[in-house]
Structure 1
Amino acid sequence: MSETRYDVIAIGNAIVDIMAPSDDATIERLSLNKGGMTLVDADGARRLYEAMGPAREISGGSAANTLAGLAALGAQCAFIGQVADDQFGRVFAHDIRAGGIAFDTPAREAEPPTAQCLIFVTPDAQRTMNTFLGASQFLPAAALDEAAIAAAKVLYLEGYLWDPEEPRAAMRRAIDAARSAGREVAFTLSEVFVIDRHGDDFRSLIADGLIDVLFANHTELAALTGESELEAGLAALQDKVPTLVVTCGAEGAVALKGGERAQVPSVATTIVDTTGAGDLFASGFLYGHVNGEPLERCLQRGAICAAEIISHYGARPEANLKALMTEQLG
């Protein structure tokens, strides 16, 4: 096994989130999928941007958000993702590097522009995401740093990026590189629509033993397994995935690993915006995981990170996560 340089290296969408408060009437008028994520084209992104009220621009992307939380906790991280050589691309690169995360993927010169996610946040804290994947869906396998992948304890992949063909091929190659180096592969299912489109691929990866840590929420677990009840879904995967982590919103989270089961409640907080809750839960869990902590402690760290992120707008932590861990876990 090669020398370890990173705790986690992730491949994901390089996106700039554009967030604005909204109301249900606007969601209905624009025919948006409230609380979900919908892919839009460049024209759709422009139309929605024009319909937004005053907005905040914050670097995002599921796997990048997870790394931001991990880095804030003290983990050594690297990101692989495609931006364009434009203003949003420079914003994304600055933000992720400023967080202490290595990011060396060359910017793409051609169209389309850097990916954007237009997020309408309603007073009930639900986020309605409309994603223009832009340059992120053109990540080539040639952009992979296989030596860096081999030098990371965990390769973390986001399901969202499985949709476009070019990055899907890159992620398959990255899985091969990680497995060849004896490293773990973690995967987040991301969204039900991704499972609807690529569930057979995901089930094949699981059946072939290529996923060591699987993250899902309870609805994604149901979509993947065909089991609507949580316990039946867990039972369907418990012998197929070495570590299975399922979040259940306000009901907390459960994890299964090697015959062990752990469960924790959610951490009480004032909910402002649920964007990034699953991403930051993965931050906390993976931090514990790469440091060899007990399963329950990994879940507790995830719950603390998720509670911090939903207490404010945006999917990047604002509070000191290390201090929160010390305060709540001792």
Structure 2
Amino acid sequence: MTKPAHDVVAIGNAIVDILSQSEDAFLAQEGMAKGSMQLMFSPEEADALYAKMGPGIEASGGSAANTVAGIAALGGKCGFIGQVADDQLGEVFAHDVRSVGIDFGTPARAGAPTTARCLIFVTPDGQRTMNTFLGASQFLPAAALDRDLIADAAILYLEGYLWDPEEPRAAMRAAIDIARGAGRKVAFTLSDTFCISRHGGDFRTLIADGLIDILFANEAELLALAEVEDFDAAVAKIAPQVPTLVVTRSENGAIALQNGTKASVAAEPIAKVVDTTGAGDLFAAGFLHGQAQGWDLEKSLRLGAICAAEIISHFGARPQVDMKALVAEKLG
């Protein structure tokens, strides 16, 4: 097998985030479940909520895209596959992704709907509540897959958020076949309990069929996937089913189990949590980058914790410091 040209190629929603500070009372008024993600099903619904937002910050986002942006900032070679529309937000997303060195060549889609956007309300405690209009991202066809790019990456990384629409779900299944046919690893993030409530059966089947090599979850997602209420019981149920299981636990750090070996790390100290948007995405970036470099479990987890701490220290889900320098300082 030839050495892959890319460390990670991700498939996910191509989204532009709009972040605004908010109060808990506003979330309650709008019927939002704090700290979760809900879908908006029309541009009119998105426009109506956008009109109620305070001053916002616009930045390219999308869970898997954030992860590969983090890996690129760490010095990894990455690619991204995701659907934008032929509009201004689509141009913004494509520019932002390419500007950090990520290979992105998915053709823009003509006509409606618009490029996806996510309206994110950040409360004073740093929690983010997301409202997503998937727009063009839910129409990623299998025909748009860059087969050579997928086959030439050590790891294919998929986000559960994109499993909801039928067309990209079929594209991701095709991508898994391409990656496994090329002898590459497949990583999957469960994304949100919302995704598990809708597609838990599919996720469990992917795992049972041996199609997932690295599974990412937070504590709530793991419990939902395992259909139990005890964390240790959930770990005991899911870990034997995947070669590598990574579980983040917010302020309680993270654990990973890999072929019978277990490692854990504490959360990286931080002066103040400003915005938790992208914390899991950047944790995955650090862990995957470490694994791609051949690091052991504990060091990969530590890098994930360092990346997550940087992200939650500021607004937005993309790194704002020299990540290579930060890692050199923290890990030596």
With normalisation by structure 1, the TM-score equals 0.99
2:12 is aligned to: 12
Q: Secondary structure at the match of 1:123?
A: coil
Rounded to whole Å, the distance in 1 between the matches of 2:95 and 2:320 is 17
Q: Secondary structure at the match of 1:299?
A: helix
Q: 2:275 aligns with which of 263, 273, 281?
A: 273
Deviation of the 1:2 alpha carbon:
4.6
Letter in 2 for 1:246: V
Deviation of the 1:57 alpha carbon:
0.4
After TM superposition, the structure 1 = structure 2 runs for residues 158-197 of structure 1, keeping only pairs within 5 Å, are 158-197=159-198
Identity of aligned residues (%): 64
Give the number of equivalent residue pairs.
330
Q: Secondary structure at the match of 1:301?
A: helix
2:326 is aligned to: 324
1:31 is aligned to: 31
C-alpha offsets along residues 132-186 of structure 1, whole Å, 9 cap, x if unaligned?
0000000000000111111000000000000000000000000000000000000
State whether residues 212 and 243 of structure 1, in contact with CA within 8 Å, keep that contact through their aligned partners in structure 2: yes
Deviation of the 1:111 alpha carbon:
0.6
Instruction: Report the more deviating stretch, 220-229 or 25-34.
Output: 25-34
Rounded to whole Å, the distance in 1 between the matches of 2:44 and 2:194 is 21
After TM superposition, the structure 1 = structure 2 runs for residues 22-171 of structure 1, keeping only pairs within 5 Å, are 22-41=22-41, 42-171=43-172
Deviation of the 1:99 alpha carbon:
0.8
Letter in 2 for 1:105: T
Deviation of the 1:227 alpha carbon:
1.9
C-alpha offsets along residues 101-140 of structure 1, whole Å, 9 cap, x if unaligned?
0000000002100000000111111111000000000000
2:308 is aligned to: 306
State whether residues 216 and 247 of structure 1, in contact with CA within 8 Å, keep that contact through their aligned partners in structure 2: yes
Deviation of the 1:225 alpha carbon:
0.3
Letter in 2 for 1:176: D
Could you list the runs of 4 or more consecutive aligned residues of structure 1 that deviate by over 3 angstroms after TM superposition?
Answer: none
Letter in 1 for 2:305: A
Rounded to whole Å, the distance in 2 between the matches of 1:277 and 1:237 is 23
Q: Secondary structure at the match of 2:240?
A: coil
C-alpha offsets along residues 278-328 of structure 1, whole Å, 9 cap, x if unaligned?
000000000001111010000000000000000000000001111111111
Q: Secondary structure at the match of 1:148?
A: helix
Which runs of 5 or more structure 2 residues have no equivalent in the other structure? Answer: none
Deviation of the 1:29 alpha carbon:
1.7
Rounded to whole Å, the distance in 2 between the matches of 1:280 and 1:177 is 25
Q: Secondary structure at the match of 1:53?
A: coil
Deviation of the 1:3 alpha carbon:
4.6
Rounded to whole Å, the distance in 2 between the matches of 1:33 and 1:154 is 33
Rounded to whole Å, the distance in 2 between the matches of 1:259 and 1:129 is 36
Letter in 1 for 2:8: V
Q: 1:289 aligns with which of 274, 284, 291?
A: 291
Which runs of 5 or more structure 1 residues have no equivalent in the other structure? Answer: none
Q: Secondary structure at the match of 1:238?
A: helix
Rounded to whole Å, the distance in 1 between the matches of 2:261 and 2:46 is 45
State whether residues 2 and 181 of structure 1, in contact with CA within 8 Å, keep that contact through their aligned partners in structure 2: no
Rounded to whole Å, the distance in 1 between the matches of 2:318 and 2:22 is 20
Letter in 1 for 2:13: N
With normalisation by structure 2, the TM-score equals 0.98
Rounded to whole Å, the distance in 1 between the matches of 2:200 and 2:35 is 21
2:230 is aligned to: 229
Rounded to whole Å, the distance in 1 between the matches of 2:177 and 2:314 is 38
Deviation of the 1:33 alpha carbon:
1.8
Letter in 1 for 2:32: L
Rounded to whole Å, the distance in 2 between the matches of 1:151 and 1:316 is 25
Deviation of the 1:239 alpha carbon:
1.3
Deviation of the 1:226 alpha carbon:
1.0
Instruction: Report the more deviating stretch, 59-68 or 319-328.
Output: 319-328
State whether residues 106 and 143 of structure 1, in contact with CA within 8 Å, keep that contact through their aligned partners in structure 2: yes
Letter in 2 for 1:68: A
